[in-house]
Amino acid sequence: MITLKIEGMTCMGCVQSVERALKKADPTAAVKIDLDSGRLDLDGALDRAAAKAAIEATGFDVVD
C-alpha cells in the first residue's frame, strides 16, 4: 500500500479527478482519499513514482 499527501484538493470534484487519474493508470487499484487531511491510500500495481506522476498530471501537488 502507498500513502501520499496531496495538496490543493478543495472539493469532492478534486477527489474524483485524482481517483479517475489513478484508475486510468491502474484499473484494478483501490483508492481511498480523505479530503480533509489530503491523505491518499492506494493499493494496486502502481509504484510510488507512477502514482505521483498521475496525480501531478491532474494539477495537484504530492508532498513527500
- This prediction has a pTM of 0.90
Contacts of 53 (CB under 8 A, 6+ apart): none
* Structural domain for 20, as ranges: 2-63
At 11, which CATH number? 3.30.70.100
Domain count of the chain?
1
In order, the DSSP letters of the chain are -EEEEEES--SHHHHHHHHHHHHHH-TT-EEEEETTTTEEEEESS--HHHHHHHHHHTT-EEE-
What is the per-residue pLDDT across 37-59, written as a single tens digit (0 to 9) for each?
999 999 999 999 999 999 999 99
Type of residue numbered 48: R
Please give the pLDDT value at position 25: 94
